[in-house]
Structure 1
Amino acid sequence: MVSCILALLALLLNVACTRHEAEQRAHKDGAPFVVVLGIAQDGGVPQAGRKGHPGWQDPQHRRRVVCLSVVDPESSQRWMFEATPDFREQLNLLDEIAPVSDSPGLAGILLTHAHIGHYTGLMFLGQESMGAREVPVFVMPRMKSYLSVNGPWGQLVRYKNIELHTLRAGEPVQLNERLTITPFLVPHRQEYSEVVGFKIEGPNRSVLFIPDIDSWQEWEQWGVRIESKIEEVDVAYLDGTFYANGEIPGRDMSGFPHPFITHSM
């Protein structure tokens, strides 16, 4: 399985594909930028139970779970899109690229849905770990209810480790004077919450972030064409969990709830 997100590897408002380039550009012109903190499917790479994978011995073969960060150097603000099981490493990487004095130093966390790779990193904000205070977490209505009434997430709300902010599909939210995000619904398994992608808009460029979706064809049945969405932005980060049917021996993958990279291309 190609356990990664098909990413047109460029960064918001200024292309910055490496840590060094992100740091250099941030210092050079102060423009907001995106940092890719992870590209893997929910289980990471290597996945649990995957015997013999070179990643167990060599970190170069490991991949963190899909996550983006948006950084505004002018305001010293940072946002994370998804709170993954790799939250500790990803926050540390972000601290190296765009250091701030506070901890966790996040102006907000924006969640797409309630599958394990996308929200369970919130646990590190709790009393047993960071003991964070009122970190803004932006969620859709069902996701807000899910986090509020189910443990251990409800404890984060009661103890004020996190502060939930409600998103509405199609309604822009201004993160600061230079950055706006707009959530939009996508078809994907919705056992506990809605599933959304995000359009991220800065002063000069914009980004599309869709880490999970069942298929582009199903979205078309909702009246939305991915080609039209891509035309609206400068960079698109799209679900690329599987490359093509047949990569998992002995299984018909045609019903898997992710578009093949071959279809996306």
Structure 2
Amino acid sequence: MKTIISLLFLGLLSTSVSAQANDWSLIVLGMAQDAGYPQAGCKKSCCEAYWKGENPKQHATCLALLNEKSKEAWLFEATPDIKDQIHALDTLGYQLSGIFLTHAHIGHYAGLIHLGREVMGTKNIPVYAMPKMKSFLENNGPWSQLVSLNNIELKELKNEEAILLNGTTKVTPFLVPHRDEYSETVGYKITGPNQSTLFIPDINKWETWDKDLADEVNKVDYALLDASFFKDGELVGRDMSKIPHPFTSETMELLKALPAKEKSKVHFIHFNHTNPALFDSPERNQVFEKGFNIVKEGQVIGL
């Protein structure tokens, strides 16, 4: 038996996705880098294509963990596009029950402002964060007001220690190297009754991580990995070594020896507006030809 889920973002995107009926699932509510697509101030052809009506809007990277029985939903990231993403949950009949944050870069926590008294005025929404991230929110406005007014209730995470949701699904944070100006950075392993998913939207080069990427892919059923940039030179006039994400091309090269079944687990996410693989292009075709995948908004992953 299959469940058909239709997701509508303000008429900009309509996607129908089939997923095996399951109490637990993940849904992709965004796949772009922090600023989404198009990006403010971009006059390049990549974003001009949106204003000309040639490409659809893409929301900042966000997942929602859904429980079909309880109709609870936990967001992974509080993005600048959170209003659309919460609307998607409302449309699907789910109640926001918590938010897991990865780090303090704008695309991953700035959406918390919508929980405050100027907008939603929420009551004690659990927000899961690592110690430095928690301290950053507690001690810096306007985030500290969310805490003092009990709009959010901060829940401290610990590296490699799982949070159990409804007794059946585990969310395990793990530290990854990144530009940690204000907080540490984590990825998450989300383990349901039947399947598991790795979520790493932001990381420095893979060789700086203390784990082997191929081994980690082998341990899960899906791996949603940082695809900010496709290759070096993509940002003309900028030293891309100062923005040390793994290039999509590098990740594919690193994992090229994996069997086809293992490579197909990899779904790229967190695309910068300049990454040509975000839309139809030779680079996008290359991803699929090499046996890898790209997430799409509205995609459902059964757990």
1:14-93 to 2 correspondences below 5 Å: 19=7, 21=16, 25=19, 29-51=21-43, 53-56=48-51, 58=53, 60-93=55-88
Show the counterpart of 1:146.
Answer: 136
Matches within 5 A, 1:112-191: 112-191=102-181
User: In the alignment, is the contact (CA less than 8 A) between 2:99 and 2:127 conserved in 1?
Assistant: yes
Q: SS where residue 107 of structure 1 aligns?
A: strand
Q: Relative to 1, partners in 2 of residues 1:88 and 1:60: Cα closer, same or farther, differing over 3 Å?
A: farther
Partner letter of residue 185 of structure 2?
V
Partner of 1:11: none
How far residue 254 of structure 1 moved from its aligned partner, in angstroms, is 4.0
Over the matched positions of the two proteins, sequence identity in percent amounts to 47
Instruction: Write the deviation string for residues 5-25 of structure 1: whole angstroms up to 9, x where unpaired.
Output: xxxxxxxxx998964655x64
- Alpha-carbon displacement from aligned partner over 1:81-103 (angstroms, at most 9, x marks no partner): 0000000011112222x314xxx
SS of 2:144's partner is helix
Normalised by the length of structure 2, the TM-score is: 0.75
Alignment-mate amino acid for residue 76 of structure 1? K
Cα distance in 1 for residues equivalent to 2:61 and 2:5 = 15
Q: 1:244 aligns with which of 227, 231, 240?
A: 231
CA displacement at 1:253 relative to structure 2: 2.6
1:99 matched to which residue of 2?
93
**What is the TM-score of this pair, normalised by structure 1?**
0.85
Greater fraction strand = 2
Q: Which stretches in structure 1 are left out of the alignment for 5+ residues?
A: 1-13
Return the offset for 1:209: 0.3
Does the 8 A contact of 1:16 with 1:35 survive in 2?
no
Hey, what's the Cα distance between the residues in 1 that align with 2:51 and 2:122? Answer: 31
2:213 corresponds, among 217, 226, 248, to 226
Q: 1:166-224 CA deviation, whole Å, 9 max, x = no partner?
A: 000011110122211100000001111110000000000000000000110111xx3x1
Q: Which amino acid in the other structure matches residue 69 of structure 2?
A: E
Aligned equivalents of 2:54 and 2:169: distance in 1?
Answer: 34
How far is 1:257 from its partner?
A: 1.5
- C-alpha separation between the residues in 2 aligned to 1:142 and 1:162? 17
Structure 2 partner of 1:10: none
Instruction: Tell me the number of residue pairs that the alignment of Structure 1 and Structure 2 aligns.
Output: 241
Q: Secondary structure at the match of 1:61?
A: coil
